[in-house]
Amino acid sequence: MSGVDLVEVGLEEDDVRLDRWFRRHYPGLRHGALEKLLRTGQIRIDGKRAKANSRLVAGQKVRVPPQAAEARPEPSSRPAGPDERDADFIRSLVIYSDEQVIALNKPAGLAVQGGTKTKRHIDAMLDALRFDKKERPRLVHRLDRDTSGVLLLARTAKVAATLGRTFQGRQVRKIYWALVVGSPALDKGRIDLPLGKRPGARGEQMAADSAGKKAVTLYSVLETAGQTAAWLALWPLTGRTHQLRVHCAAIGHPILGDGKYGGEAAFLPGEGLPKQLHLHARELVLPHPSSRGELSIAAELPPHMAQSWKLFGFGRDHKGDPFADVE
């Protein structure tokens, strides 16, 4: 049939889902249109019918009909890479790299991906982190704009697929540090509070909802400043939007600077105390995608949190497992 392409799957795309492969190569093709082309057998893998979740194997040939081929962007329409200043900036954030992954210490206030009003973001700068690879690094998880800390990138599509399954399978230990208003009565605990989306004065936001999705957070108090503030380690066992912020506010100890969920109670009086959100993705521990050992990465506090730590006289590190005896 005229206009049909047969596209070979590259080595770096081995084990990638078919729908993700199409999003990468044919970003203009809507999901509904993709499903229709699959349902009618117009998209095939090595001549056989396929599904959106079919896993590709390097060397296979994907039949791409004209409707999908038209959604492939022209080279001139593809986003330009970062300028020299942004390239230097993103490289300065690298805290770990090897042949398969790169880790950044994302600063607070910088979005991971773009939007209608967001032009400068991590995703737009990733071409500067190719180094010796032909492929552009890929995001495998997210951090909120105002949350700082460890952000992991995959250096190839194959590694991205492996890490995607690792994150989905809950094999990842994510430890956050937060400065909260007040001090919890118990030094360690478990917050089990379902969350759902609700409209609010500050736009749509998450809220405690008995009919919502299950959300569980472990917390451990590392240091306190009397009853004024506390340094918490937080471990989200589930990954709901704004989970840590909502859970901390729900127990009466909003994260410092979190006006969206804590209101006025999320701010403390006093000179020199930053008004920014005090939430930091401190540590990420997971199986290395090579299947050889464990990957453990820690990120230093951002400047505004380091300033608050100094004002309250907290240490800048913590030894031992804060969740060793938390159920």
Active site residues: 144
Q: What is the dihedral of CA 118, 172, 258, 247, to 10 degrees?
A: 130
Radius of gyration of the chain (CA): 22
Q: CA nearest 7: which of 78, 68, 74, 79?
A: 68
Distance CA 309, CA 316 (A): 7
What are the residues facing 6 on neighbouring strands?
Answer: 63
- The answer to whether the Cα torsion of 303, 178, 89, 294 is positive or negative is positive
- Tokens 């349902």 belong to 39
- Tokens 């805290």 belong to 95
- Tokens 């790169």 belong to 102
Q: CB count, 10 Å around CB of 167?
A: 15
- CA dist 281 → 142, 190, 244, 326 (Å): 11, 19, 11, 20
Distance CA 178, CA 106 (A): 16
Distance CA 39, CA 55 (A): 17
Contact by Cβ (8 Å): 174, 236: yes
Q: Greatest CA span in the chain, whole angstroms?
A: 75
Distance CA 246, CA 195 (A): 8
